[in-house]
Amino acid sequence: MNTNVVSNSKRLIRLPEVLNRTGLCKAWIYRLISRNEFPSPIKLGERAIAFLESDIDKWIDEKITLSRNKVA
pLDDT in tens, 42-64: 999 999 999 999 999 999 999 99
Q: In angstroms, rounded to a whole number, what is the distance separating the alpha carbons of residues 4 and 22?
A: 28
Beta-sheet strands, E only, within the chain: 12-13, 42-43, 49-52
Q: How confident is the model at residue 70 (pLDDT cuts 50, 70, 90)?
A: confident
CA dihedral of residues 54, 25, 47, 34 (deg, nearest 10)? -70
Q: How confident is the model at residue 32 (pLDDT cuts 50, 70, 90)?
A: very high
CB 53 within 8 Å of CB 12: yes
Is residue 8 predicted with pLDDT exceeding 60?
A: no
The model's pTM is: 0.82
Identity of the amino acid at 30:
Y
Is residue 39 predicted with pLDDT exceeding 60?
A: yes
